[in-house]
Structure 1
Amino acid sequence: MNAHDAAGGPHLVQSPKKSGQRSQSCILSLPFMEFHPIHGVNVRLDHSGTQATRVESFANGVCFSKQPLKPGEIFLIEIDDKELGWCGHLRVGLTARDPRGLAEVPEYSIPDLTALGDSWVFAITRNHNKIIEDAGDAGNNNYSNKPKTFFTDSHLYIDNVRIPRDKLVGRSRPGRYSHILDDLYKTNALPPTARRSRIGVLYVPKGRDLADMHIIINGEDMGASAKGIPATRPLYAVVDVFAATKCVRIVQVEYGFASLQTLCRKAIQKHIVHRMAIDWLELPEALKHYCKYE
């Protein structure tokens, strides 16, 4: 470990490869995520720079990450509010264009920003976001990204990138005794365009100076939305607060050691088979809500 690593600077960690295992990479000590102060004319950021609201019309809602992303670093947002009467939803992606170099922020991410080149943006829809991989490509991933139970695996794996799953999944808030959404909780499946849905974008290195862009929706990898992206230039996240999507906020992802809260939740979840059983435990109400991701 060099002095920069010891000081907590951002870096990739490559764990040693053991017999029968492949190498894993994870990111530690990353900076606080914010939106870039340069954005569409209809966007208003909150004082923290982590919430973006489109205040007029349905367009001019293009936002960027304040800093370029690092390989395997996810830019994760949650849909905070929606607006009825518009067709279309959130759009996310990457751009190699520094926002400070834009003469003006394009009205639309698709097609205006993408037409400039060096930008890759994906429109989020209610039902059709999964990228169909070739049979050969699908066999390269030894890990299953599909959640197995309500309490999912601790990490999402994409090639050698390992992302803590704890913050990736968005969940609705049913009433205390509501059983209607039990199946939704078990599968961790909110509709991608719903309030509280969480959507992230990242890039995964692929060979020399190339990368693939991946979209993550509620903890599930949608596949490589764009392949062979040149990774020699800094890549910024793009979030277009478009049409029916009114407001989004950034969700900070912890890549380092798990917090005490997270460790407590994992210990409780290990012995719980149904989310409603948490209500019967003699625990503070705040901790119960936290254990149910509410």
Structure 2
Amino acid sequence: MSPEQCRMEDSAVISCCPDLTVTIRKKMNSFKKFKRRMGLASSTNNSNRYQATNNLPPLLFHPCHGENIRLMNGGARAQRVDSYCKGIVFSSRPVRINEKIMLRLADVSNQWSGVVRLGFTSVDPRTHTHGLPKYACPDLTSKPGFWAKAMSERYAEPGCVFFYYVTAGGDVHFGLNNEEKGIFFSGVDVSRPLWCLVDIYGNATALEIVQPQPAPLPVLRPTNEELERWTRPALAALTINAPPPHAQQPPLPLPAPQPQPPALAVKYHTHCVFSPLLLHPRVRGRNVTVSPDRTVAARLEGEFCNGYVFGQRPLRLGERLVVQVLSRCSLYVGGLAFGLTSCDPSRLTPAELPDDADLLLDRPEYWVLAKDVARTPAPGDELSFKINGTGAVEFSRNGGAAQVLMHVDASLDLWPVLDVFGGTGRIRVLGVTSELTPGCAAPPPVRAGSEHSLPVPARPSQPLPPPPAELQPAAAADCAVCFERASDAALYSCGHVCMCYCCAVQWKARGGAVCPICRAPIRDVIRLYRS
């Protein structure tokens, strides 16, 4: 029988037995899985059109560079030989999305100020035939197709290795000595090829490109049971007399779910009776999940920011909010952020929440935030926050001595805000306690009308006792601006007294002036007369 007749006969058999076709297809898929398990299958990644294959040339400095730059070591080292500027360099080829550009600060001077500027450009370096300007910022960044930002001077240590890369969303991430620091800046157009842009500026005089070493592939050594389980369907697929579908082996049982770790016990607030303060059911950051009972917030794996959660109701004066740290992420730095806002979370959308919590202070509502209240969190830590009668926010860790974290306008309804950031991976809101500590009174009644109405004093039938020492008027402190005159001006509407009247009026005259203590907008300045 000729080969053509064999193929025709096989096609007729397959068309007459569709179940046999399905069986063979399933067993061929099993055989492909076996090849991948043994490392015999090839894989390609075409997820990004600018992600090239692994045979790209090593990353070097481009021959087009600033006037004071000299290239050494075959283009892997760039040295500035004169002055403090004209040190702009580029990469020799476009970089891939998420490709880490690793640089070593090889030489540092102490004659200047400022250090390296890092960024990207979509302009081919070969087009700079007319020469390059003195500075990358702002000479190049003011033009379209250039993005750069200065690195902090505290990282400018000889021999330190820093890296940066751009994501598919246009965010540039920065890290130091294999430690991720977070988003460096944003807004890069990734729709076109991008070259590295580096300005060897100021005290940074020489940079070396560090070629990343590829991680060795793990050697998979399957057990005899795994080999038998994987090879049986693959070999059966190669036999001519394939078993019917009903004779196939039953599927392997799924592994039993792993039990969740038990909840951490309360250690430092066992004497407290907690009332529930649940997390908001709808509004939260894009990188955080909330448990069904709305007491646990967990940041997604692989993310380090935008983990905002809000309280369902405002925090009352005298209430102590207690939060327990459940897990820690050692890959990132920074800790939990705590704040208070007059903005009802129901009016927010997740898209309005920025990656950097400081940007919330630019919103029109009243926002006060403190970052890294637990910079080195440990599982089991219990953090408490309380607004006392004077508007001071007291913070305590593990039942320790309370410290004033910030001051707020206590006449407003303030919702608590928590950002599960950096090294804090998962938290649990234990609740609030309503006991009043000395110096913290219940909220006074207010007149109807404005939200900033003054308290209405009660008419006591008996003389009132003298106030506690912490509430007695203190001596006038020096002005925080001129340090010459006494502080005799109250800032409306937060009420803080930290400047003299002359400096406060000049400070308010500036556009967009805010209180230097709580950053609340200054609406007016009230002069105080001390008796």
Short-chain TM bin: 0.5 to 0.7
Residue number in structure 2 paired with 1:188: none
Residue number in structure 2 paired with 1:76: 102
Residue number in structure 2 paired with 1:53: 79
Residue number in structure 2 paired with 1:19: none
3-state DSSP of counterpart to 1:225: strand
1:247 partnered with 2:273: no
Alpha-carbon contact 1:40-1:61 (below 8 Å) kept: yes
Please report how far the alpha carbon of residue 222 of structure 1 lies from its aligned counterpart in structure 2 after TM superposition: 2.6
Residue number in structure 1 paired with 2:160: 197
Greater mean deviation of Cα atoms: 115-124 or 225-234: 225-234
3-state DSSP of counterpart to 1:110: coil
In structure 1, C-alpha distance between the alignment counterparts of 2:146 and 2:182, rounded to whole Å: 18
Residue number in structure 1 paired with 2:134: 107
Residue number in structure 2 paired with 1:276: none
Residue number in structure 1 paired with 2:189: 230
**Count of residues paired in the alignment:** 171
Residue number in structure 2 paired with 1:38: 64
Please report how far the alpha carbon of residue 97 of structure 1 lies from its aligned counterpart in structure 2 after TM superposition: 1.3
Q: For residue 104 of structure 2, what is the amino acid of its counterpart? A: E
Please report how far the alpha carbon of residue 108 of structure 1 lies from its aligned counterpart in structure 2 after TM superposition: 0.5
Map 1:1-294 → 2, pairs under 5 A: 12=45, 28-102=54-128, 103-127=130-154, 192-206=155-169, 211-255=170-214, 257=216
Q: 1:110 to 1:228 in 2, by over 3 A?
A: closer
In structure 2, C-alpha distance between the alignment counterparts of 1:34 and 1:221, rounded to whole Å: 23
Please report how far the alpha carbon of residue 199 of structure 1 lies from its aligned counterpart in structure 2 after TM superposition: 1.6
In structure 2, C-alpha distance between the alignment counterparts of 1:74 and 1:30, rounded to whole Å: 14
3-state DSSP of counterpart to 1:112: coil
In structure 2, C-alpha distance between the alignment counterparts of 1:48 and 1:12, rounded to whole Å: 31
Alpha-carbon contact 1:28-1:255 (below 8 Å) kept: no
Q: 1:27 to 1:253 in 2, by over 3 A?
A: farther
Alpha-carbon contact 2:65-2:89 (below 8 Å) kept: yes
Alpha-carbon contact 1:12-1:28 (below 8 Å) kept: no
3-state DSSP of counterpart to 1:121: strand
Alpha-carbon contact 1:27-1:255 (below 8 Å) kept: no
In structure 2, C-alpha distance between the alignment counterparts of 1:33 and 1:100, rounded to whole Å: 16
3-state DSSP of counterpart to 1:109: coil
3-state DSSP of counterpart to 2:123: coil
- The structure whose RCO (Cα within 8 Å, separation 6+) is larger is 1
CA offset digits 1:42-90 (Å, max 9, x no partner): 0000141000000000000010000010111111110111112101111
In structure 2, C-alpha distance between the alignment counterparts of 1:201 and 1:224, rounded to whole Å: 9
Q: 1:47 to 1:112 in 2, by over 3 A?
A: same
CA offset digits 1:247-294 (Å, max 9, x no partner): 1111001235369xxxxxxxxxxxxxxxxxxxxxxxxxxxxxxxxxxx
Greater mean deviation of Cα atoms: 228-237 or 25-34: 25-34
- Give the alignment's TM-score, normalised by structure 2: 0.30
Gaps of at least 5 residues in structure 2 are 1-43, 219-531
Gaps of at least 5 residues in structure 1 are 1-10, 15-24, 128-191, 260-294
Q: For residue 166 of structure 2, what is the amino acid of its counterpart? A: Y
Residue number in structure 1 paired with 2:399: none
- Give the alignment's TM-score, normalised by structure 1: 0.54
Q: For residue 116 of structure 1, what is the amino acid of its counterpart? A: K
Please report how far the alpha carbon of residue 201 of structure 1 lies from its aligned counterpart in structure 2 after TM superposition: 2.0
Please report how far the alpha carbon of residue 27 of structure 1 lies from its aligned counterpart in structure 2 after TM superposition: 7.8
In structure 2, C-alpha distance between the alignment counterparts of 1:97 and 1:238, rounded to whole Å: 10
Please report how far the alpha carbon of residue 36 of structure 1 lies from its aligned counterpart in structure 2 after TM superposition: 0.2
Q: Percent of pairs identical after alignment? A: 30
Please report how far the alpha carbon of residue 230 of structure 1 lies from its aligned counterpart in structure 2 after TM superposition: 1.6
In structure 1, C-alpha distance between the alignment counterparts of 2:70 and 2:83, rounded to whole Å: 13
Q: 1:77 to 1:12 in 2, by over 3 A?
A: farther
Aligned-CA RMSD value? 2.4
